[in-house]
Homo-oligomer: A and B are copies of this chain.
Amino acid sequence: MKEITDPTADGKVPTHVVTYRRLRDMILFGQLAPGQSVTIQGLTSLLNAGMTPVREAIRRLTAEGALEFLGNRRVVVPQLTQSQLDELAHARLSIEPKLAKIAAQYIDDDDIIILKERDLEIDQAIATGDIHRYLLNNYQFHFTLYERAGAPILLSLARMLWLRSGPSLRVVCGRFGTANLPDRHSDTLAALRARDGDQAAAAIAADIEQGIEQVRQSLVVDSI
Residues 1 to 33 of chain A near chain B (Cβ within 8 Å): 16
Does A91 count as interface, using CB distance less than 8 angstroms?
Answer: yes
With beta carbons under 8 angstroms apart, the residue of B60, B61, B90, B154 that contacts A87 is B154
The answer to whether B59 and A154 have CB atoms under 8 Å apart is no
At the interface, is chain A mostly helix, strand, loop or mixed?
helix
Q: What's the number of copies of this chain in the assembled complex?
A: 2
B56-A88 in contact (CB<8A): no
Residue of B nearest to A93 (CB): B94
Q: How many residues does chain A have at the interface if contact means C-beta atoms less than 8 Å apart?
A: 29
Please name the residue on chain B nearest to A80 by beta carbon: B153
Interface residues of A (CB under 8 A from B): 16, 52, 55-56, 59-65, 83-84, 87-88, 90-91, 94-95, 98, 150-154, 156-157, 160, 164
Would you list the 4 A-B pairs with minimal beta carbon distance, nearest first?
Answer: A94-B94, A63-B63, A87-B153, A60-B63
